[in-house]
């Protein structure tokens, strides 16, 4: 008798820190890709609240931002019945595996992380051990679920490479322990730049006018784009090196149109910068409007959010425990 065998689905994992407003950079560089890829994978999407503690958080704001991020995941199109949407601190195995991985991660590796260098410069009064060890917690997030694919923006590439190194190192010592994850970083939209300084990435921890928040109103979006820094020329050309502001606007519109920034530049040729900014505002407003509407509905039903996160945590915990038990056993921790 003939049997048809379907290959097991691969696992996709990603997370966002609930540490402030979710930006257009988070949306274009990460969230949008989560939704595009979700159909083909078993997915987990996490609110990385333990990571957020590496810089000081106001407790009420952290709680609110965590709920808000859960609603945003769903409003953007992630189906929590199919994908696991959960909060990192609800699954204790993350912190437990992070400890183990810390014992296999070198100080030298962690000191080379550019995010650690940037953040310690920004928060010179609070360079804590958690900030230093942040990448091993991130590796734990990923390895705990035997993840195959991790969609992220370009700024997380170095962390992902370290997660792969840690996985390979442990697999060398304890064969078959972890799946080695692959990054998924879009070629053209992985680094959305700040509107006020287009040589730096758009970041939720910078001044408000430098980023578009996914929940900004149309008026605010138009105002921020109108003020976006461009250059003193008049030509619309995609040239990130010499024309970072104009190129950033082209990247944003192109990502939302599903074409390359070079193609977008051809479409926009001959327009004035003002018209380019208006085109950027209108594309962003059109994409965000249905997300914002769904978000408002979801935030009106806190019980639904709570139940969804409870179910997500249970499903994640089941998978996480399986890996953690395997790790403890292989490393020789005494089992009862
Ligand atoms: P976070 O919270 O800073 O950002 C969430 C996601 O958004 C991407 N991103 C951007 N993409 C393009 N342009 C930008 N300007 C931009 N800003 C942010 C980030 O690359 C990221 O994909 N350490 C992670 C969270 C994390 C994680 C994980 C990610 C914790 N554990 C496990 C993947 C797997 C972070 O701080 O992302």
Q: What angle do CA 87, 143, 134 make, to 5 degrees?
A: 65
At 188, the pLDDT band (50, 70, 90 cuts) reads confident
For residues 180 and 317, state if they share a domain.
yes
Ligand 1 binding pocket includes 166 (Cβ within 6 Å): no
User: 27 C-alpha to center of ligand 1: Å?
Assistant: 10
For residues 111 and 135, state if they share a domain.
yes
As beta bridge partners, residue 13 has 44
For residues 115 and 250, state if they share a domain.
no
CATH number of the domain enclosing 175: 3.40.50.620
Q: How far are the Cα atoms of 105, 138, 157, 311 from residue 135, in angstroms, in the given order?
A: 9, 5, 11, 27
Structural domains in the chain (count): 2
Whether 52 is covered by a domain: the verdict is yes
Cβ atoms of 46 and 13 closer than 8 Å: yes
Cβ atoms of 188 and 254 closer than 8 Å: yes
Ligand 1 binding pocket includes 201 (Cβ within 6 Å): yes
Q: Residues 297, 301, 304, 305: is their CA dihedral positive or negative?
A: positive
For residues 71 and 54, state if they share a domain.
yes
User: 232 C-alpha to center of ligand 1: Å?
Assistant: 32
Q: What angle do CA 179, 183, 184 make, to 5 degrees?
A: 130
Q: What angle do CA 261, 266, 267 make, to 5 degrees?
A: 95
The pLDDT of residue 190 is: 86
Question: Cβ contacts of residue 45 below 8 Å, gap of 6+?
Answer: 14, 15, 34, 73, 78, 83, 84, 85, 86
For residues 120 and 243, state if they share a domain.
no
140, two tokens: 């734990």
Whether 50 is covered by a domain: the verdict is yes
Whether 203 is covered by a domain: the verdict is no
Kindly tell me if the per-residue pLDDT of 2 is higher than 70: no
For 16-57, how does the pLDDT look when each residue is reduced to its tens digit (9 = 90+)? 999 999 999 999 999 999 999 999 999 999 999 999 999 999
Ligand 1 binding pocket includes 140 (Cβ within 6 Å): no
For residues 145 and 214, state if they share a domain.
no
- Pocket of ligand 1, candidates 11, 12, 14, 15: which has the most ligand atoms within 8 Å of its Cβ, to mutate? 15
Whether 195 is covered by a domain: the verdict is no
| CA-nearest residue, atom 33 of ligand 1 | 14
For residues 315 and 213, state if they share a domain.
no
Q: Provide the domain limits for residue 261.
A: 208-297
Cβ atoms of 254 and 261 closer than 8 Å: yes
Cβ atoms of 46 and 180 closer than 8 Å: no
For 323-335, how does the pLDDT look when each residue is reduced to its tens digit (9 = 90+)? 999 999 999 999 9
Kindly tell me if the per-residue pLDDT of 1 is higher than 60: no
Whether 114 is covered by a domain: the verdict is yes
Determine the angle formed by the axes of helices 129-143 and 157-173, rounding to 10 degrees.
70
- At 94, phi and psi to the nearest 5? -60, -50
Whether 336 is covered by a domain: the verdict is no
For residues 309 and 291, state if they share a domain.
no
| CA-nearest residue, atom 7 of ligand 1 | 26
Model-wide pTM > 0.85: yes
For residues 165 and 311, state if they share a domain.
yes
| Ligand 1 nearest-atom number relative to CA 204 | 17
At 4, the pLDDT band (50, 70, 90 cuts) reads low
Residues with catalytic roles: 119, 201, 204
CATH number of the domain enclosing 224: 1.10.240.10
For residues 218 and 177, state if they share a domain.
no
For residues 86 and 172, state if they share a domain.
yes
Averaged confidence pLDDT in the chain = 96
CA 149 to chain centre: 13
For 77-88, how does the pLDDT look when each residue is reduced to its tens digit (9 = 90+)? 999 999 999 999
Whether 192 is covered by a domain: the verdict is no
For residues 117 and 166, state if they share a domain.
yes
């Amino acid at each position: 008798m003939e049997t048809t065998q379907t290959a097991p689905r691969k696992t996709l994992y990603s997370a966002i820190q609930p540490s402030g407003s979710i930006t257009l950079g988070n949306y274009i560089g990460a969230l949008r890709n989560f939704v595009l890829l979700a159909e083909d994978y078993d997915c987990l999407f996490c609110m990385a609240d333990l990571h957020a503690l590496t810089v000081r958080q106001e407790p009420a704001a952290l709680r609110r931002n965590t709920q808000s991020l859960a609603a945003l995941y769903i409003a953007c199109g992630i189906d929590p019945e199919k994908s696991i949407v959960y909060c990192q601190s609800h699954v204790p195995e993350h912190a437990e595996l992070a400890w183990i991985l810390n014992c296999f991660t070198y100080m030298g590796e962690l000191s080379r992380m550019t995010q650690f260098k940037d953040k310690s410069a920004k928060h010179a009064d609070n360079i804590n051990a958690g900030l230093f060890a942040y990448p091993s917690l991130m590796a734990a997030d990923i390895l705990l679920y035997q993840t195959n694919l991790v969609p992220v923006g370009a700024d997380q590439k170095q962390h992902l490479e370290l997660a792969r190194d840690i996985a390979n190192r442990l697999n060398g010592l304890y064969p078959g322990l972890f799946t080695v994850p692959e990054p998924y970083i879009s070629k053209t939209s992985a680094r959305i730049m700040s509107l006020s300084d287009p040589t730096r990435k758009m970041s939720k921890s910078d001044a408000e006018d430098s980023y578009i928040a996914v929940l900004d109103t149309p008026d605010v979006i138009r105002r921020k784009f109108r003020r976006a820094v461009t250059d003193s020329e008049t030509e619309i050309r995609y040239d990130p090196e010499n024309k970072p502001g104009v190129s950033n606007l082209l990247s944003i519109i192109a990502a939302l149109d599903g074409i390359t920034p070079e193609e977008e530049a051809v479409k926009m040729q001959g327009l004035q910068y003002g018209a380019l900014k208006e085109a950027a505002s209108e594309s962003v407003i059109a994409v965000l409007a249905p997300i914002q509407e769904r978000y408002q509905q979801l935030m009106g039903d806190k019980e639904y959010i709570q139940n969804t996160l409870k179910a997500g945590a249970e499903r994640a915990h089941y998978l996480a425990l399986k890996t953690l038990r395997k790790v403890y056993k292989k490393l020789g921790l005494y089992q009862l």
